[in-house]
Structure 1
Amino acid sequence: MSASPLLLRNLFSANKILIKPYFANSVKAMEARHDLPITSLDYPKPISAPPPPISKDIELKRAIEASSKSSLFNLTRDDVLYEDEWLMAVDKPKGVYCEYILSSAPKIIVDSSNEFHLANRLDRDTSGVMLITKSHKVAAKLVKAFTEHKIRKSYIALSIGPSPNWSKITVKSGHGRSKHGAWRVYAALDVGRVLPGGSFVRDMETTFEVVSINGENPQPSESESTIVVQGEPELSCVGDDVVVVRAFPRSGRTHQIRLHCQYLGIPIRGDVKYHGMYEWRGRTSEGHELHAESLSLDHPVTGDPLVIQAPLPCWAAGDV
């Protein structure tokens, strides 16, 4: 049952930390006390819903189409956002796999080497800024910078759902694969607990800002709320408002923004894996509408501040 509008307003009042009731024991602690045999571990339960049945066929179709498109893709100089002797930033198109971007990079660089590496990765249908390094040493420095959260990332997403009762919100949760192999949101208290297959729940944090609702810019607000995920989401996904948000992921977990949008009740349009609208107002989506807008970092060699921005896609250009 979805929460009432009054309850949602109370939940997202300014500077309020939300704790949902959830109780969990550490698997390691239970093993130490011999409360559970190793064959019947009490695995943590995912918070977000699993992919809907329709997503399997749609995702397979998109993967086949992307493989065909990727095999024919070649970078051009028009795709380059920034380049120096150590690294290059390119604008990755939607529906192309990262590996094909990397393999075509040497074709547009005169002094190409054999040490090209992807410094960051984007999902198949996510467009935007992608960094390619030209040496092992620079690659290692950027990996360290990403791991230590020294690189600021911003994304733009277009969602369909109810109009948010917040203007800025931070979501803190766990992240991991369920027993069915799908990425899911887990409770924050479950971080560190073991999952089926031997992996662990890891922390995940994203800050969101509302850019527009149905093409209108919201009133500016200094208030900010925080959700610490501890139980089932209380937010309704019922609604057909067009909500454009800017996302700032602190961690870099797989499908992080997509999962947190699902949790907030505003799944990304076309993101069928995470309950986003596939058919909407007479058209079907070729993929989810998520764009890596910018990267802000200190140059791994010179130390100079560097801000790299990608042009906005057509679905976002009118709202941002």
Structure 2
Amino acid sequence: MTIMPLVGARCPLLVGISKPLLQFSSMAAEAHGSRNSSEIQSEDVRRSLANYPVPLSPPPPLISKDVELNRALTASSKSALFSLSREDVLFEDEWLIAVNKPQGIYCESVLSAVRNLLDADRGDQTNPELHLSNRLDRDTSGVTIVTKSHKVAAKLVKAFTDHNVKKTYIAFCVGALPKWTNMVIKSGHGRSRHGAWRVYALSDAGRALPGGSCIRDMETSFEVVSVNGRERTRPSPASGESVERIVVEGSAEVAGEVENGEVVVRAHPRSGRTHQIRLHCQYLGIPIRGDVKYDGVYKWNGKIYDGHELHAESLSFEHPVTGRPVSICAPLPLWACADILNCERENLRCSTLPCLLCLNTKM
């Protein structure tokens, strides 16, 4: 290798360096630059995510992926064959029809079944404007309302949007035995970057999340109905016991006994967020039995559960056409009847018991 002086410069120029060596040097420099670029991008992502609100409830456990897939496949098969009978109708007039949706059936199949039921009654297709007014999760059972015209649908949807519909749910939970009897919880609600619904701090409401969505507020009131099969006594007004209130601003601290037990609660969602009751039960340390997506037990006392045990018990609202008050309630499923035999009959009923609310509102 010969060293030649560089004209006009004090340093030497190496001449005769092999081409492979130059290529190797170029590749090394490029790789070094690529690593630096990757590290910079990762740091940018970390800084970007640090500016977003942090979810306060955990992501779905790994087992939920396979369980949910199997449940979805089973529900698809059941939904394809689903039909309704007149015994499933809870309320009907010329503008509305309400039915009792079973667990493990998609709402779209309920809508198709309502159409088939009405067509069979009339002998022709006379209801082209059927609309679902409320959508229940696949495994949530209970009151489902279908409107019979576009105008009525718009009015009822507005009533739901404006929170003018009173909703009552029953949930069978397994978790820390609560010390409270009545609870109101307020929090934020949104989708994390992983696509799962999560609980956020109430103060984060309105803040943006990755993907362009934003956090919204949600509020649910709970009442403990029974604990381990025994009715929880309601406090009298004279007792001075007040409703416990939680404003979510940090990670959950379970306010209950360490021992896990069976807790039946009645929930009143004051907003209509996706999976709201399920999320709040998870946050309170009493996830719904069978709700593996939100930490509910998949197997309990030797039995495997095919879906979460949440039931839309009743809906109360002002009729969108007549203006009359309407209250519609659905029979309790068997899983709820066993634990609620000692509760008030005017508000709850099993499939063999009459419902005063429904008897008073059927037309």
TM-score over 0.5 (shorter chain) = yes
Partner of residue 221 from structure 2, selected from 186, 207, 213: 207
1:128 aligns with 2:142: yes
Question: Which SS does the other structure have where 2:230 is aligned?
Answer: coil
**Aligned residue pairs: how many?**
284
1:53 aligns with 2:62: yes
Matched AA of 1:314: L
Q: Counterpart of 1:101?
A: 110
Looking at structure 2, the residues matched to 239 and 59 of structure 1 have their Cα atoms a distance apart, in angstroms, of 28
1:285 aligns with 2:305: yes
Q: Counterpart of 1:252?
A: 272
Give 4+ residue runs of structure 1 displaced > 6 Å after superposition: none
Q: CA deviation at 1:317?
A: 1.1
Q: CA deviation at 1:240?
A: 2.5
Q: CA deviation at 1:113?
A: 1.2
- Contact kept in structure 2, 1:118 and 1:132, CA below 8 Å: yes
Q: Counterpart of 1:29?
A: none
- Bigger RCO (CA 8 Å, 6+ sep): 1
Q: CA deviation at 1:239?
A: 3.3
Looking at structure 1, the residues matched to 259 and 64 of structure 2 have their Cα atoms a distance apart, in angstroms, of 20
1:78 aligns with 2:87: yes
Partner of residue 139 from structure 1, selected from 153, 166, 180: 153
- Contact kept in structure 1, 2:186 and 2:219, CA below 8 Å: yes
Q: CA deviation at 1:236?
A: 6.8
- Contact kept in structure 2, 1:160 and 1:239, CA below 8 Å: no
Partner of residue 295 from structure 2, selected from 255, 258, 275: 275
TM-score w.r.t. structure 2 length? 0.76
Q: CA deviation at 1:232?
A: 0.5
Partner of residue 100 from structure 2, selected from 71, 85, 91: 91
Q: What 5-or-longer segments of structure 2 have no aligned partner? A: 1-43, 341-363
Q: What 5-or-longer segments of structure 1 have no aligned partner? A: 1-35
Q: CA deviation at 1:40?
A: 2.2
Looking at structure 1, the residues matched to 318 and 255 of structure 2 have their Cα atoms a distance apart, in angstroms, of 40
Looking at structure 1, the residues matched to 85 and 199 of structure 2 have their Cα atoms a distance apart, in angstroms, of 38
- Contact kept in structure 1, 2:182 and 2:223, CA below 8 Å: yes
Higher helix share: 2
Q: Counterpart of 2:52?
A: 43
Partner of residue 163 from structure 2, selected from 149, 153, 161: 149
Looking at structure 1, the residues matched to 116 and 172 of structure 2 have their Cα atoms a distance apart, in angstroms, of 34
Q: Counterpart of 1:264?
A: 284
Q: CA deviation at 1:319?
A: 2.2
Q: Counterpart of 1:12?
A: none
Q: Counterpart of 2:249?
A: 230
- Contact kept in structure 2, 1:75 and 1:108, CA below 8 Å: yes
Q: CA deviation at 1:95?
A: 0.1
Q: Counterpart of 1:309?
A: 329
Measured against aligned partners, the alpha-carbon deviations of 1:54-113 in whole angstroms (never above 9, x if no partner) come to 000000000000000000001111110000000100000000000000012121113531
Measured against aligned partners, the alpha-carbon deviations of 1:263-310 in whole angstroms (never above 9, x if no partner) come to 000000000000001011101000000000000111110000110000
Q: Identity rate of aligned residues, in percent?
A: 64
Larger radius of gyration: 2
Measured against aligned partners, the alpha-carbon deviations of 1:119-170 in whole angstroms (never above 9, x if no partner) come to 0000000000000000000000011000111100000000001110100000
Looking at structure 1, the residues matched to 160 and 338 of structure 2 have their Cα atoms a distance apart, in angstroms, of 31
